[in-house]
Amino acid sequence: MILSALAFYLFAGIAVLSGLMVITARNPVHSVLFLILAFFNAAGLFVLLGAEFLAMILVVVYVGAVAVLFLFVVMMLDINFAALRRGIRQHLALGLAVGIVLLAELVIVVGAWAVAPEVAAHTAPIVNSAVTATNTQALGAILYTRYIYAFEGSGLILLVAMIGAIVLTHRARAGVRRQVISKQISRSRAETIEVVKVPTGHGI
Amino acid sequence: MANFLTDYLIPFAWILGGIILTVACLMGGMAYLTLFERKVLAKIQLRIGPNIVGPFGLLQPIADGLKLLTKETIIPSGANRAVFILAPMMTFILALTAWAVIPFNQYMVLANINVGVLFLFAISSLGVYGIIMAGWASNSKYAFLGSLRAAAQMVSYEVSMGLVLVTVLLCAGSLNLSQIVLAQSHGWFGVSWLPGWYVLPLAPMAVVFFVSGLAETNRSPFDLVEGESELVGGYFVEYSSMTFALFYLGEYMNMILVSAMTSILFLGGWLPPLNIEILNSPYLGPIWFVLKTIFVLFCFIWVRGSFPRFRYDQLMRLGWKIFLPLSLGYLLLVAFVLVYMGWLPKVA
């Protein structure tokens, strides 16, 4: 088991370090690249826990899609991040407050189990480790039965958010000539080509 | 410490040996894929192709490799050094990593993980980073435009590719690549020697997957990323020598990977073309697998020799307005048929 412990400290250490680099890197693109590294190591931690499905989904969704968009935005917008940094004094208090609240919540959640073990009874039961079903089957079996309303509800919220984003950003521009393929291929020969007999020396 | 040897060292040596063997085979295959492509394209265009270096031009890939090795690596002065060097390495390493889960026959697979399909999907979705990083770090507008196109293109086609994968795993009932191949070993209409490959019932999905694969690997006719007529050379304009070679090799490696994925998901992987005892030997498995992969690779090159490059809006239209509804509709159809006929695969 020494190998998995070593792997844990490797992944966790790199994740924490790259998390630090995200907020300290001078170049915003480097920040996003470190964020990707942090995601990647979190996926490694999931694999160590035996949650390979979650690990892969983390990579596909966060690294493969979300972070690409981050990178896109950071590269495209020519933001002067040095100028943004100058306001750090006035935002420091707010940032610290948010950080402290988050930390306190984490401590309360974990501390409650340590102080009063009966609290743990209120959480969802831990899946019996003797269950032989793979990750994917176990998740599917619980997601589509016990948590079906929460699952469908979150799906609906995402759908509404997507439609909202399209409605807010879509604008019909005037004067854009679009290619209508059906129009192009429905032309007949008669309306496109006319063969004329040109008398020599006269022109049309 | 006796069990240290048996518990760690021997499995480690086995895995390392497997990795070295796979990588060596891949490198060789990749080198000769470049020659194969040039030969096939030459035949399509009624030329002879490389035939000077070695018999039938067989030493051409070695000459090309040596040429690239001996050239100078140039790093543009405005480039972001670390990211500039990291980008080609990432492309190449990711292209190699994916091979960890590819089964060559029932027993020959480096990592037989339960989420093999998702692993491949995750790795192929990471491929875009090499390109974006290269485009950004080069500090050149052509490279940057090329990489932006690549990012949009790869993200778009991943969506329909994902839906195709869902269709396949609905039929197979597993995310494990070996299980998916084994699920294709039962024949059709109760005739056991017919190949039960998914290319028959899922033919439209196989086509969508193949075309998305072309787009995903930035191959012609979707090679807008490196569209030389408008972008000089696309995202790798600024790269030279081995850094360029890594991109180039990564592209071919991805091509082989997508071909291998197509043959596993739709052409029955290591299964023989006719399911009879003599062809079913585990030793023949890798041969069938390689033959199928070569067939798909030939299709890749055939497409390159036949079709002109897509325009960017046509590419996006094909991805979002045609492939996405088509694959979603087919997914619903397959799910409906499986449930209605009671053909859903039994999960343990």
Query: Rounded mean pLDDT of chain A?
Result: 84
Q: Give domain status of residue A136, yes or no.
A: no
pLDDT the model gives residue B153: 83
Statement: residue A130 has pLDDT above 60: no
C-alpha A104: how far from chain center: 26
- Domain count for chain A, please give it: 1
A–B interface: beta-carbon pairs under 8 A: 66
Q: Give domain status of residue A13, yes or no.
A: yes
pLDDT band at A126; cut points 50, 70, 90? low
pLDDT the model gives residue A176: 83
- pLDDT < 50 positions in chain B: none
Say which CATH number the domain at A79 has.
1.20.120.1200
- Percent share of chain A, pLDDT over 90: 26
Q: Give domain status of residue A54, yes or no.
A: yes
CB pair distance less than 8 Å for A53 and B125: no
Query: pTM to 2 decimals?
Result: 0.85
Q: Give the one of A60, A71, A179 whose C-beta lies nearest to B125's C-beta.
A: A60
Q: Give domain status of residue A2, yes or no.
A: yes
What would the two tokens of residue A6 be? 């070593």
Q: Which residue has the higher pLDDT, B276 or A185?
A: A185
CB pair distance less than 8 Å for B125 and A36: no
Q: How far is the alpha carbon of A56 from chain B, nearest alpha carbon, in Å?
A: 6
In chain B, residues with a C-beta closer than 8 Å to the C-beta of A3 are 8
pLDDT the model gives residue A42: 92
Question: Which residues in chain B (119-158) have CB-CB distances under 8 A to chain A?
Answer: 119, 121-122, 125-126, 128-129, 132-133, 136, 144, 148, 151, 155, 158
For range A46-51, the mean pLDDT = 86
Q: What amino acid occupies position A134?
A: T
Mutate which: B7, B93, B94, B118, vs A, most A CBs within 10 A:
B118
Q: How far is the alpha carbon of A179 from chain B, nearest alpha carbon, in Å?
A: 9
Q: How far is the alpha carbon of B175 from chain A, nearest alpha carbon, in Å?
A: 8
Q: Give domain status of residue A7, yes or no.
A: yes
Q: Give domain status of residue A182, yes or no.
A: no
Instruction: Provide the 10 A C-beta neighbour count for residue B263.
Output: 27
Question: Per DSSP, what are the bridge partners of residue A151?
Answer: none
What would the two tokens of residue B50 be? 């490389």
pLDDT band at A64; cut points 50, 70, 90? confident
Q: Give domain status of residue A197, yes or no.
A: no
Coil/strand/helix, residue B188: strand
pLDDT the model gives residue A125: 59
For range A6-14, the mean pLDDT = 92
> Taking an 8 Å Cβ-Cβ cutoff, which residues of chain A contact chain B?
3, 27, 29-30, 33, 36, 52-53, 56-57, 59-60, 63-65, 68, 71-72, 75-76, 132-137, 179
* Structural domain that includes position A18: 1-84
pLDDT the model gives residue A131: 57
Considering only A16-30, A78-92, A100-114, A185-199, which range has the smallest mean pLDDT? A78-92
Q: Give domain status of residue A127, yes or no.
A: no
Statement: residue A161 has pLDDT above 90: yes
In chain A, residues with a C-beta closer than 8 Å to the C-beta of B148 are 72, 76
Mutate which: A57, A60, A66, A70, vs B, most B CBs within 10 A:
A60
Rounded to 5 degrees, φ, ψ at B57 are 75, 20
Rounded to 5 degrees, φ, ψ at B191 are -90, 115
End-to-end CA distance of chain A: 92
Alpha helices (H) in chain B, listed in sequence order: 2-4, 10-44, 60-70, 81-97, 116-137, 141-172, 177-183, 203-216, 228-231, 241-265, 285-306, 312-317, 324-341
Closest CA to B172 of B279, B101, B268: B268
In chain A, residues with a C-beta closer than 8 Å to the C-beta of B113 are 52
- Note the pLDDT tens digit of each residue in B224-280: 766 666 666 677 778 888 888 888 888 888 899 999 999 988 888 888 877 777 777
Distance CA B147, CA B200 (A): 36
CB pair distance less than 8 Å for B136 and A75: yes
- Minimum CA–CA partner of A3 in chain B: B8
Mutate which: B115, B178, B179, vs A, most A CBs within 10 A:
B115
